Amino acid sequence: MPAGEEGRLKHSDNTSPGAVASRACTEGDLVIDQDVIAAHSAGPAKPIRSGAEYIESLRGRGLKVYLMGERVEEPVDHPIIRPSINAVARTYDLANEDPELASALSPLTGDRVNRFLHISASSADLVMQNKMQRRLGQLTGTCFQRCVGMDALNSLHSVTYDLDQKYQTSYHARFTSFLARVQRANAVIGGAMTDVKGDRGRSPSQQADPDLFLHVVRRTADGVYVSGAKAHQTGCLNSHWLIVMPTMRLEAPDTDYAIVGAIPVDAEGITYIYGRQSCDTRSAEAGDIDAGNAQFSGQEAMIIFDDVFIPTEFIFLDGEFEFASTLVERFTCYHRRSYVCKSGVGDVLIGAAATVADYNGVERVSHVRDKLVEMTHLNETIYGTGIAASHQGSAMKSGAYLPDEMLANVCKHHVTRFPYEIGRLAQDLAGGLMVTLPSERDLRHETIGPLVEKYLKGRPEVATEDRIRVLRLVENMTLGRNAVGYLTESMHGAGSPQAQRIQIARSMQIEFKKGLAKALAGVSNASREEISRDLSTYMARVFAPARN
Active site residue 335: yes
Residue 178 CA to its chain's centroid (Å): 20
Helix/strand/coil percentages in the chain, nearest 5: 50, 15, 35
Identify the CA nearest to 114 among candidates 126, 130, 134, 98. Answer: 98
Residue 21 CA to its chain's centroid (Å): 29
3-state SS class at 125? helix
Active site residue 234: yes
What is the Cα–Cα distance from 176 to 224, expressed in whole angstroms? 20
Catalytic residue (choose from 109, 140, 234, 332): 234
Identify the CA nearest to 212 among candidates 257, 244, 168. Answer: 257
What is the Cα–Cα distance from 139 to 348, expressed in whole angstroms? 8
Catalytic residue (choose from 54, 109, 118, 143): 143
Catalytic residue (choose from 300, 320, 440, 475): 300
What is the Cα–Cα distance from 291 to 479, expressed in whole angstroms? 11
Catalytic residue (choose from 341, 355, 385, 538): 341
CB burial class (10 A; 0-12, 13-18, 19+) of residue 161? buried
φ and ψ of 186, to 5 deg: 55, 50
Catalytic residue (choose from 272, 486, 489, 538): 489
DSSP labels for 127-163? HHHHHHHHHHHHHHSS--S-HHHHHHHHHHHHHHHHH
3-state SS class at 548? coil
Positive or negative: CA dihedral 145, 146, 152, 155 = negative
- H/E run at residue 112: strand 112-114
Active site residue 339: yes
Catalytic residue (choose from 118, 172, 240, 335): 335
Distances (CA, A) of 38 to 109, 175, 195: 9, 15, 37
> CB-based contacts of 180: which residues, under 8 Å, 6+ apart?
36, 37, 39, 40, 106, 108, 109
Catalytic residue (choose from 274, 339, 401, 538): 339
Catalytic residue (choose from 26, 147, 274, 320): 147
Active site residue 489: yes
Positive or negative: CA dihedral 106, 264, 204, 272 = positive
The residues carrying an active-site annotation are 143, 147, 234, 300, 335, 339, 341, 489
